[in-house]
Amino acid sequence: MQGRRDHAILYDGECGFCRLSVRAVLALDRRDRLRAVAIQSAEGQRLLAEVPEEAKLDSAHLVTPGGIVLSAGAAAEPLARLLPAGRLPAAAFERYPRQTEAAYRWIAGNRGRLGRLGLRAGEIEEPG
């Protein structure tokens, strides 16, 4: 099971907070299920071909091995289930989808400010 990297997590490669967030998620991914893909890359554009252009950079996306694209708060539960110790958060995300989406939208709406806080902590390397 280890090392498949069968799910793609797509992020805004020009957003410091987004890069920091993906880096944190990848650090938790001890089973190597995730691979990071910048939305702006050729692969990112291919994986999100069915997503309207104006929605591509609106949120992060999780693409399953079957090609299903989950975006914003809807990606939280399946993403959490891929991570060790993610069952409890996944259950909460599943039980409270409106609150999960609202929290995601608040964070996404403030990512510029949150990114500046992360950038003060040091240089951010590009995810995987």
Is 47 among the domain residues?
A: yes
For the segment 35-89, what is each residue's pLDDT rounded down to a tens digit?
A: 999 999 999 999 999 999 999 999 999 999 999 999 999 999 999 999 999 999 9
Residue 2 near residue 107, CB atoms below 8 Å: no
For the segment 57-72, what is each residue's pLDDT rounded down to a tens digit?
A: 999 999 999 999 999 9
Of residues 24 and 3, more confidently modeled: 24
pLDDT, residue 122, reads: 44
pLDDT band at 23 (very low <50, low <70, confident <90, very high): very high
Is 126 among the domain residues?
A: no
Tokens of 98: 């409106």
Residue 77 domain boundaries: 7-120
pLDDT band at 112 (very low <50, low <70, confident <90, very high): confident
pLDDT, residue 115, reads: 73
Across-strand partners of 110?
Answer: none
Is 125 among the domain residues?
A: no
As for how many domains the chain has, the answer is 1
pLDDT, residue 128, reads: 54
Query: Does residue 125 surpass a pLDDT of 70?
Result: no
| Residue 127 C-alpha from the chain's centroid | 11
Give the Cα-Cα-Cα angle 24, 115, 72 (nearest 5 degrees).
Answer: 65
What CA–CA distance (Å, rounded) separates 6 from 64?
Answer: 7
What CA–CA distance (Å, rounded) separates 106 from 36?
Answer: 23
Is 2 among the domain residues?
A: no
Is 41 among the domain residues?
A: yes
Is 60 among the domain residues?
A: yes
Across-strand partners of 69?
Answer: 63
Is the pTM above the cut of 0.75? yes
Of residues 113 and 34, more confidently modeled: 34
| Residue 88 C-alpha from the chain's centroid | 18
What CA–CA distance (Å, rounded) separates 88 from 106?
Answer: 22
Strands 7-11 and 34-38: parallel
Is 93 among the domain residues?
A: yes
Is 127 among the domain residues?
A: no
pLDDT band at 124 (very low <50, low <70, confident <90, very high): very low
